[in-house]
Chain A
Amino acid sequence: MEPTPAIAPRTVPLWAWLVAALALALVYLLAADNGLVLGRAAGVVHELFHDARHFAGVPCH
């Protein structure tokens, strides 16, 4: 690993971090929620994306 000091650092604005947080929340809702956020609908989401959830390696059932 050779760090390259030649590049100037950039400040990533808040909105971009919020977009990233939103994407992470989407990953959680689609792949890992079991009712904590979605409540009863989590069961339907779980069954629908069943194969993707298992294949993502997320704890299931």
Chain B
Amino acid sequence: MSLGRCLRRGVAAGAAGGVALALALAVLGGAAISEAVELEEAGGGGGGPFSRGVQQVAGVVGAVALGVAVGVVFAVVFAAARHRLPGRDDWRRSLWLAAAAFAAGHLVPALKYPPNPPGVGDPATVGRRTALYVLLIAFSVVATVGAARLNNWLAARGTAAAPRHLLAVGAWLALVAVALAGFPPPPDPVEAPATLVWNFRLTVVGGWLGLWAVTGAVFGWLSLSPAERTGREDADSADTAGTAAEEAGGTSSRSD
């Protein structure tokens, strides 16, 4: 597939993922945000140049725009890493990459620096919090790529699947644990009601899960040929190829 086509698929998949994030925001997260804004304003804070209505519409537009941008990055990384990704077709590779992106780009950073509703957070520390958050994303992306490379390197050396997976996942967990323990704690106290904060955090994780699931699925689907989608024409040969590839993955050497 040409790179231009791959990028257009990324835009389409990212837009669909962004719609999923926007839907989660509008249906699940909007209430928590509005409640938090009311609390913030009751406490004398908040109050900006835009009405809540404008913010809600722009929030949905912004979520879709975020999805498109993320989809473009996804497509370029997919093109570059396709031959290293697990899975015997582009559907599986796309889902794997999306799952890795969710874990490295959102889940790990959120464990250390969980998302907060409006009203939580001191403006004086936002620069430091943003820097720490971006650094932790960078670290967990590097750790994830490193663990995947370790897995592929061991495969090239002929290591059997079970010890290889244990080593790669173990290395990933060790790196993540070091980062979670080593990065400084979030500096601001969380004084908003615990139920509100908890519900907000759950909906944010759900929103990102939705974004990555939809992006990975749409990108994977668009990357398949019609025959691969239905599995009718070459179901037998695909099965054979898959088995052969799995066997080869553990024993043969790789070109890169």
A7 to chain B, nearest CB (A): 4
Is B70 a contact of A27 with CB atoms below 8 Å? yes
Total B residues in contact with A, Cβ cutoff 8 Å: 82
Residues of B in contact with A (beta carbons under 8 Å apart)? 3, 7, 21, 24-25, 29-30, 33, 48-50, 54-56, 58-63, 65-66, 68-70, 72-73, 76-77, 79-80, 82-84, 86-88, 96, 106, 109-110, 113-123, 126-127, 129-130, 133-134, 148, 151-152, 155, 161, 165, 168, 200, 203-205, 207-208, 241, 245-246, 248-250, 252-256
Judged by a CB distance under 8 angstroms, whether A39 is at the interface is no
Is B151 a contact of A3 with CB atoms below 8 Å? yes
CA distance A38 to B256 in the complex (A): 42
Chain B residue nearest in CB terms to A44 = B49
Total A residues in contact with B, Cβ cutoff 8 Å: 43
Is B161 a contact of A27 with CB atoms below 8 Å? no
CA distance A24 to B59 in the complex (A): 18
The 7 A-B pairs of least Cβ separation, nearest first, read A51-B59, A52-B62, A57-B115, A59-B129, A47-B48, A49-B62, A20-B76
Contact residues of B: prevailing secondary structure: helix
Known: A4-B87, A12-B3, A23-B69. A61 touches B121 (CB 8 A): yes
Chain A residue nearest in CB terms to B29 = A55
**Can you list 24 residue pairs at the A/B interface with Cβ under 8 Å?**
A1-B86, A2-B87, A2-B88, A2-B250, A3-B84, A3-B152, A4-B248, A4-B249, A5-B249, A5-B255, A12-B76, A16-B3, A16-B79, A19-B72, A24-B69, A26-B65, A27-B66, A32-B130, A34-B126, A50-B58, A55-B203, A59-B121, A59-B129, A61-B126
